[in-house]
Structure 1
Amino acid sequence: MPAGTLYRGREGMWSWVAHRVTGVLIFFFLFVHVLDTALVRVSPEDYDKVVATYKTPIVALLEYGLVAAILFHALNGLRVIAVDFWSKGPRYQKQMFWTVMGVWIVLMLGAIYPVLGHAARVLFGS
């Protein structure tokens, strides 16, 4: 690391970076979602075309990424609250980070079939 940097590359820094990145990704999704939903009032035919493009396997992967971002952001937000408002929070930051990661992985494994099942059937047959 360069001299004078505050970043140490530890769990707290990486969870901070991931929290910001997932927040921006979620904001971007919400922005696009509002725009494409508003399209239904302007041109229902164009709205139907846009929604039809969402039914592809590539978009299913993007949806899985969205689920990943939302789950991580929510779980890490709970960790941030614990660090900020629990007197022993900073002392257990590393353990809480790895707990968040473990819960996130378990939930993401559970989300594979519900989110990607249709895409797998389209790609590989029923």
Structure 2
Amino acid sequence: MTQTATGSAAPAARPGPQRRRTLYRGDPGMWSWVLHRITGAAIFFFLFVHVVDTALVRVSPQAYDSVIETYKAPIIGFMEAGLVVAVLFHALNGIRLILIDFWEKGPKYQRKMLWVVLGIWIAGIIGSLGVIGMHMVERFL
């Protein structure tokens, strides 16, 4: 027992087992928040690059043609697929966030809506990546 400032006895704190701390703990809603921010930043980066490479047409048509030619590399096909995945999640989760904010029952159903979003997202990924994959195979074979 240890003495407190008022003189009463308080049990001494016993060190418990050390828990591993992580930066993000919690429910899936927190992870959807993180993924929403990451996909938003990725989409912004794509749009920035797209505006810059399109602006090259006015500066130097040869430079524009050169940049467009680099976009035919296989790695760019994977980046395009990643962009589709990011835009799809960002859009679906954005609709969920709008419903949470403006629908009176939104906060109550936010977790169920997240699982619906993830289901639609996975189905959309499978469908869109199938189409993108077929085009990549046609382009590179």
Give the TM-score of the pair, scaled to structure 2.
0.79
On the 8 A contact 1:79/1:100 being kept in 2, the answer is yes
- Hey, what's the Cα distance between the residues in 2 that align with 1:114 and 1:19? 24
- Hey, what's the Cα distance between the residues in 2 that align with 1:90 and 1:73? 19
1:45-64 → structure 2 map (5 Å cutoff):
45-64=62-81
- Quote the residue 2:104 is aligned against: 87
- Hey, what's the Cα distance between the residues in 2 that align with 1:112 and 1:58? 15
- Hey, what's the Cα distance between the residues in 2 that align with 1:107 and 1:48? 32
2:108 matched to 1:96?
Answer: no
Report which of the two structures shows the higher radius of gyration computed on alpha carbons: 2
CA RMSD in angstroms, aligned pairs only? 1.7
- Hey, what's the Cα distance between the residues in 2 that align with 1:8 and 1:112? 31
The structure carrying a bigger helix percent of its residues is 1
1:39-93 Cα shifts (integer Å, max 9, x gaps): 0111101100100111122101100000111111000000001111111111111
> Percent of pairs identical after alignment?
57
- Hey, what's the Cα distance between the residues in 1 that align with 2:61 and 2:130? 31
- Hey, what's the Cα distance between the residues in 1 that align with 2:129 and 2:25? 34
2:128 to 89, 111, 117: 111
- Hey, what's the Cα distance between the residues in 2 that align with 1:90 and 1:77? 14
Give the TM-score of the pair, scaled to structure 1.
0.88
Amino acid at match of 1:81: I
Deviation at 1:26, TM superposition (A): 0.5
1:27-38 → structure 2 map (5 Å cutoff):
27-38=44-55
Gaps of 5+ in 1: none
1:77 to 94, 107, 110: 94
- Runs (4+) off by over 4 Å: none
Gaps of 5+ in 2: 1-19
1:13-28 → structure 2 map (5 Å cutoff):
13-28=30-45
On the 8 A contact 1:22/1:70 being kept in 2, the answer is yes
How many residues were matched structurally? Answer: 121
- Hey, what's the Cα distance between the residues in 2 that align with 1:29 and 1:107? 20
1:7-57 Cα shifts (integer Å, max 9, x gaps): 542121011111111110000000000000000111101100100111122
